[in-house]
Amino acid sequence: MIEEQLRARDIIDERVLTAMERVPRHLFVEPTLQYYAYEDRPLSIGAGQTISQPYIVALMVQLLRVLPSYRVLEVGTGSGYQAAILAELAAEVYTVEIIPSLAESAGARLEALGYRNVRTRQGDGYEGWLEAAPFDGIVVAAGAPEIPLPLIQQLCEGGRIAIPVGIAGATQDLILGEKRSGKLQIRSIAPVLFVPLTGKGGADSWRKADW
């Protein structure tokens, strides 16, 4: 997986590659799908959600340039796989999942695997995690029409956010934002296809952010 799926596609951060090698992806998918766990494709984790393909996880994490001292927020815990990758790299990881069953199972899984630097809670990721802010990096594992304003506000100066932006059901743009002088400087990285953000960040209840 490391050489063909990641390094050959410009995942060059050695710390990210090591983290991807260390975290057992098969423990984060449904038992009936474990045979396919190391293929480069998304897989079902139940509740209508998926675990992202390894390349996309590695790409989004690499974009954050996570340092060992960093505090990172993840929106969309899913099964906990990306949170585990982040936990290998950062000092503290805060991850929010809106679906109660996934939040509970991911928290238990991460604890069982010994990730003591991860805090998981059930809630609407649109709001971020205000009590733990500011964050050096934020990664959003669901597509949104725009970047949620609370996430921009909770990003520290010089911090980075990686988020899929676009219309639900259509190809989205993976956006990298970097906060400079209180404003978010953004650029498009790659076309992606993520499940849509729900809650306040959903298309039906959108409040546009002032970047």
Collapsed DSSP state (helix, strand, coil) of residue 24: coil
Is 181 assigned a catalytic role?
no
Structure-token pair, residue 195: 């499940």
Contacts of 51 by beta carbon, 8 Å cutoff, 6+ apart = 25, 28, 29, 42, 43, 45, 78, 79, 81
From the candidates 52, 69, 101, 188, give the one annotated as an active-site residue.
Answer: 52
Contacts of 170 by beta carbon, 8 Å cutoff, 6+ apart = none
Residue 1: CB atoms within 10 A of its CB come to 17
Query: For the chain, where are the E strands, in sequence order?
Result: 43-46, 49-51, 71-75, 92-97, 118-122, 135-140, 155-165, 172-180, 183-192
To the nearest 10°, report the CA torsion of 162, 49, 76, 207.
80
Q: What is the DSSP letter of 143?
A: B
Which amino acids are annotated catalytic?
A: 52
